[in-house]
Homo-oligomer: A and B are copies of this chain.
Amino acid sequence: MTIGFLPQLFSANRRGPCALPHLLCQKMNTTSSKIRVDLDQSTGVAVMWMQSPPVNSLNMDLLTEFNTTLKNLEMDKSCRGVIITSSLPRIFSAGLDILEMYQTSPEHCGQFWKAVQELWLKLYGSNLATIAAINGSSPAGGCLISIACDYRIMADNPRYSIGLNETLLGIVAPYWFKDTMANTVGHRTTEMALGLGLLYSAPEALNIGLVDKLVSEDQVVNTATHTMGKWLAIDEHARQVTKSMMRKPTIDKLLSNREADIHNFVSFITKDSVQRSLGMYLKMLKNRKG
């Protein structure tokens, strides 16, 4: 169950008992990987496929594996660019897993939030060229991953949506989510989007600049691979210094304030009123599926 979970996404697609069942409220504890990595040594391009059914919820396991994978690719001399995508149908990532912050200990919430920070810090500041191949809906944390990349290609399907819709759940996107979005679509669009918890359809997202390009669903990863060639054609050092110049001030705001940000998150999320909001949201989801 994730912040950006979209009930309607599934209500229209339920094909039987296996569609998005029990897994939703229990963590998978298999040793199987939640991320598959395909690294093409000839081009230096890695594809990170998120494959954590049913909706690539960003729980502790997926976050940890995401961060480790990215760190390893960053240190791998043969890798120069990474494409982030989903191997699941209709969903890129549904965002942070609510179960990590609902009726869990403050300590757990703090560790969880630190992992979310880590993902953003590493991805937004990555020396690799990064492209989000958004082949499904991408609310909340899914949107964060997308806007932390250098470029966004989305499936041209109006039923897929993207946005920071945290307020719909009674919670608040932190300032560094906000900064990343404002760096992408500007202050005013961000203010309205966050205030109303707006999710934009793929065409709307293109229109406001939240994504850079729409292509047909089966061409998202191919197009990302092709586009990556343009980024890798640029001198590596010049590209990295330029990227750092653009993003360092935003990153430094969190780096200099990381513990306080964790503290704020834990204080907020463990409030009775917020826990009630999350509980009601979870109940609503269960009822919908009941």
Question: Given A172-B241, A178-B245, A241-B172, does the pair A234, B197 have CB atoms closer than 8 Å?
Answer: yes
- A196 contacts which of B170, B197, B231 (Cβ < 8 Å)? B231
CA distance A62 to B35 in the complex (A): 56
Copies of this chain held together in the complex = 3
Tell me the chain A residues, 179-200 only, with Cβ under 8 Å from chain B: 182-188, 190-192, 194-197
- As a 0/1 sequence over residues 241 to 273 of chain A, the CB contacts with chain B under 8 angstroms (1 = contact) are 111011100000000000000000000000001
Q: Is the CB of B173 within 8 A of A183?
A: no
Q: Which residues from B are CB-within-8-Å of A167?
A: 234-235, 238-239, 242
Q: Is the CB of A238 within 8 A of B166?
A: yes
CA distance A247 to B195 in the complex (A): 12
Q: Which residues from B are CB-within-8-Å of A172?
A: 238, 241-242, 245
CA distance A238 to B175 in the complex (A): 13
Q: Which residues from B are CB-within-8-Å of A121?
A: none
A interface residues, how many (CB within 8 angstroms) = 43
Q: Which residues from B are CB-within-8-Å of A209?
A: 188
Q: Is the CB of B194 within 8 A of A183?
A: no
Q: Which residues from B are CB-within-8-Å of A197?
A: 234
Question: Given A166-B238, A183-B187, does the pair A196, B230 have CB atoms closer than 8 Å?
Answer: yes
Of A188, A190, A231, A239, chain B has the most CB atoms within 10 Å of the CB of A188
Task: Report the minimum CB–CB distance from A156 to chain B (whole Å).
Answer: 20
Q: Is the CB of B187 within 8 A of A246?
A: yes
Task: Report the minimum CB–CB distance from A213 to chain B (whole Å).
Answer: 11
Q: Which residues from B are CB-within-8-Å of A170?
A: 235, 237-238
- A194 contacts which of B168, B175, B242 (Cβ < 8 Å)? B242
Q: Is A116 an interface position by the 8 A CB rule?
A: no
Task: Report the minimum CB–CB distance from A217 to chain B (whole Å).
Answer: 24
Q: Which residue of B lies closest to A147 (CB)?
A: B188
Q: Is the CB of A237 within 8 A of B183?
A: no
Known contacts A167-B235, A183-B187; 11 further A-B pairs (Cβ under 8 A): A151-B192, A167-B238, A167-B239, A175-B245, A182-B187, A185-B188, A191-B246, A194-B246, A195-B242, A195-B246, A235-B277
A-B contact pairs, 9 of them (CB 8 A): A150-B191, A167-B239, A170-B235, A170-B237, A172-B238, A183-B187, A185-B188, A187-B246, A237-B273
